[in-house]
Amino acid sequence: MTSPTSTSDTSRVEVAVTDPGAPTEDITALRKEIDQLDDEILRLIQRRTEVSQRIGAIRRAEGGPRIVLSREQAVLARFRELGPEGRELGMMLLRLGRGRLGRA
């Protein structure tokens, strides 16, 4: 099967060739794997949230600050390799553990 792909140079046309005999991935199986991964991610996020909340409760009981900025920066740095979305993910995880800043 072929499909022409135009380029900016109108004198050339690139053709993508798909081998009809090449194995294709089973989408249903891949979706099932994603569902399993999502289940595991959710379980881990719930556990992380519980641990983070326990740390916060201990810190507050000892008269410590609600948050430790250096620790939060270290957490965000770990997610930096995922790009801007990684930072957003890190921020969401921090909020789940400590709540939004500004809340009592």
Structural domains in the chain (count): 1
Residue 6 lies in a domain: no
| DSSP per-residue letters across 7-59 | -SSTT-EEEEE--TTS----HHHHHHHHHHHHHHHHHHHHHHHHHHHHHHHHH
Q: What is the pLDDT of residue 86?
A: 96
What is the pLDDT at residue 98?
A: 87
Structural domain that includes position 90: 27-98
Strand partners, 16: 3
* pLDDT value of position 66: 82
**CATH number of the domain within which 73 lies:** 1.20.59.10
Mean pLDDT by 10 residues, the chain (104 residues): 49 58 76 97 97 92 91 95 95 89 54
The pLDDT value recorded for residue 12 is 61
